[in-house]
Structure 1
Amino acid sequence: MKLERENNLIAKIYDAALLPNLWLDVIKDIVNHTKSKSAIFTGLDQLNPGYDFVYTHNIPNETLAAYQDDRIRVVDMKLHMPLWNGSEIGEALSQSCQHYAQHPGTDHYVFYEKCLKPSGICHLAGVLLDRGNYRWAVLGIHRTREVQPFAQVELDFLRRISLHLRRALQIHRQINVIQQDNLSLYTVLDNFKTGILLLDQNLCLSYSNPVAQKMLDQSSCLDLDMHNRLKAASGQQTRLDQLLESALLEDAAIHTEAGGVLALSDTMGAQLMLTVVPFKKLRNMQHLQSAQHQVALFMTHKSQHYSLSRAYLQQCYQLSKREFDLCELLINGYKIEDIAEQCGITLSSVRTYFKNIYEKTHCCSQIELMHLLMGCTIHFEHVD
């Protein structure tokens, strides 16, 4: 009988992957099966916000309201992630939260006040389903102080069903991608060899391509805060905010260019180059514009060298070899003075060359030319 109930639950898990409203029935069955009080099934991906979900059973509205706050959910991730760092995905653990209320001013206390206290939860058991620097997924079940902590038999049950929950999450992630608006745009951006981030009207991350995700995971030059906004070192944050705001408020930026270029560095000497542009300014993509994206950032390591498509630029814009060389230096972060020195020509000659380049490409400014050149890059080389 118990085996039959578990098999029925597994079948329902796969049904819920296709029909998300069934997750409420799934976690209710898990609560009943383990003689628990409540449960929460949550997934968070800061680099792919459209993936996020929260399903609960028997949790008070006050706690649910708190958990809709992205800050609380990130606190949950960062607070409890250390519990899983020494564990494998699919492993089930249990914990008592009685001490959370004893440390005012800490993340533990915030989580206690917002999430645990309204529900009376004391004993937790959970199974880790996904883990990364910016993402996690967990199924948690709860008991009150008056009930015994979870026994090994309940943890074994969670471990058995975790395989099916993880497979269901993979299905959910794939469906999420398919259902996104402007799928063709994301397909294009996913194949860029440059890191690309898109931000919404609140300057919160709304999309990141695989290259950008890897760069964020591996570099400390740029991070995400609890609200999914970009965070740089304190001395660089002000300039980053200025560029983002100017790109967001492009129509109001009468006397200043929208966006710009910024080099970020960390204490280890690593550097990232950022180009910030209004999303609607991406050439040849206006028919793919999405209302949820307002600002675009192109990211690359400072040591990486952009190569431009010479044939394309010569064919479409009739750029000479010298003009092409100047464009390639510009897109790799060289200032006008540096370009003059690199090419062995005067500063006046460089300005004349760029005036001709602007005319040929129909660009009105250096930033606009950068937008165009970003769309003409090919595979770049790593330079030591």
Structure 2
Amino acid sequence: MERHITKEVQIGNRWIGGNHPIAIQSMTNTKTEDVAATVAQIKQLTKVGCEIIRCAVPTQEAAAALTEIKKQITIPLVADIHFDYRLAIAAMEHGADKIRINPGNIGSRERVKAVVDVAKERRIPIRVGVNSGSLEKGLVEKYHGVTAEGIVESAMDKVKLIEDMGYDNLVISIKSSDVMMCVKAHELIAKQTDHPLHVGITEAGTLISGNIKSAIGLGLILNQGIGDTIRVSLTGDPLEEIKSAKLILRTLGLRKGGVEVVSCPTCGRTRIDLIGLANQVETMVSEFPLDIKVAVMGCVVNGPGEAKEADIGIAGGVGEGLIIKHGEIYKKVPEAELLPALRYELEHWSED
């Protein structure tokens, strides 16, 4: 696929846009004022592959907390601001690497300019975010409802407002919970701008519906070469967002590395808790930077054969299980030792 090449933007210690790899984002769900809890969550997310983190800044205390949070993390921090322009300025003064605002809810032109002036002085990028749910009344009337065209026009109006203030260090985010409207909006905006695009399906939903909607929406957008950063928005643990984002990128061939887990469906031959085991394996392998495929099989009958295309696999039996390497049975272990045995093999994979 041909990539939609955008301008390069620096966010803290990371560059996005241009030919830089698509970066994975998430957002903390801790109270930002609680520095210890927020830092702990950011470190967990970083460990599994989060590359840019966003924190809500609803109060001056939250803005002030960014100073201490920044000292303890290694990835860029984006401050999420709604309504109060003073919070945007405070967040930048306390070390935010980027701010996310919707100029439409910040208020008057003077207030937006006050934010832009500080961003310009400190060379901090601004993410201009527009959601379908907050589309201006005039555009809803113009397009007879909320439409992709209306979302794009709203975003481009906000971008022009900031560009007219002499600042173009921008990232654009247009989101909708309507997947196909979101896809169409990205196709339209990619023809109108070369600012980097942050892509996501907003309010996608719980783990199942959110993953399906995000995989379809992000898949259709990214497969056209559109998108510089992504977030899979899920109602759940933010760690799940990173796992999903990595798998979407890997499935589309946009990112190598990371262990891919394949597992068989359960059937009458299954003699172990395959569902629980597969979930445990998926969580465990997320910390290994290996570009391999791991199979989790429910029985020793078909396990070795079905795991042939995987680099390594495990198959469960009654009280014991098999470790399978490159389609061949490597060794038998007691059922309780299957997971530790797999971990050991992954830890020593480079020695094979």
For this structure pair, what is the TM-score category when the shorter chain's length is used for normalisation? under 0.3
Hey, which of these two has a bigger chunk of helix by percent?
1
Q: TM-score, normalised by structure 1?
A: 0.25
